[in-house]
Amino acid sequence: MKKFLVLGILFILPIVAYLFFASAVDNFSKLPVLVESVGDINNFESLEKEDVTLQDKITILGFLGDDVLSKRGNAFNLNQKIYKKNYEFRDFQFVMVCPYGSENQSKELIKELGKLTDVTGWNFVFGTPERIESFFKGLKTPYTLDEKSATDFVFIIDKKMNLRGREENREKNEIDVYGYDTSSVADLNNVMVDDVKVILAEYRLALKKYKADRKEK
């Protein structure tokens, strides 16, 4: 009897474990899509004159304005709390949108950040204030850009160029979260850190499921 029990456990337990992890992909609490298809940044010019796209990337999108160095503190908060913990994820990137004329300040900021970590995942793109405003409005958030084309808020954009965030939860007295305030370490620690973990975990689980399905075929 014990022999059959042991054999049963050896055969059944792996199957149960597989079904549990396979179903985890579908049951995983995903970060909600708040705005679909915010658009790409193909009509912006990158600092290194290379193509930068939101397509097929998990992007932290920011708007630093024409006085980039005045947002140095925000960038350092974001770098320390979010970027350094996740930059090794293959499809993870930062994209900062700035007006033409702020290229040198952007280079200076990249240089300063580079003293702390590998900054290959930081991208700066440039356009006219009008183009930046038009792109920002496409995010359909409750926020606005200031007169320098800047905001303290950054946004999570998924691989399909959807804006992700938190939906209103009346039971917990929570409102929609479209973006994250980089001037507030508490907001980054208490909200954004968790949300970035969720979306990266979502894609890791999806990748594992894809690989498992490929093996079965």
In angstroms, the CA 176 to CA 197 distance is: 18
Output the CA torsion 134→36→33→54 (10° steps): -70
Contact 27, 156 (CB under 8 A): no
pLDDT of 209 strictly over 90: no
Other Cβ atoms within 10 Å of 124 Cβ, number: 25
Kindly report, residue by residue over 120-163, the tens digit of the pLDDT. 999 999 999 999 999 999 999 999 999 999 999 999 999 999 99
Confidence bin at 5 (pLDDT 50/70/90)? low
pLDDT tens-place string over residues 94-127: 999 999 999 999 999 999 999 999 999 999 999 9
Give the domains, in start order, of the chain with CATH numbers: 31-216 (3.40.30.10)
- Whether 211 shows a pLDDT value over 70: the answer reads no
- Amino acid 17: pLDDT: 42
pLDDT by residue (tens digit) across 11-32?
554 544 433 344 433 334 789 9
pTM: 0.83
Is the pLDDT score of 204 beyond 90? no
Res 181 pLDDT > 90: yes
What pLDDT sits at residue 175? 78
The CA distance from 53 to 136, in Å, is 15
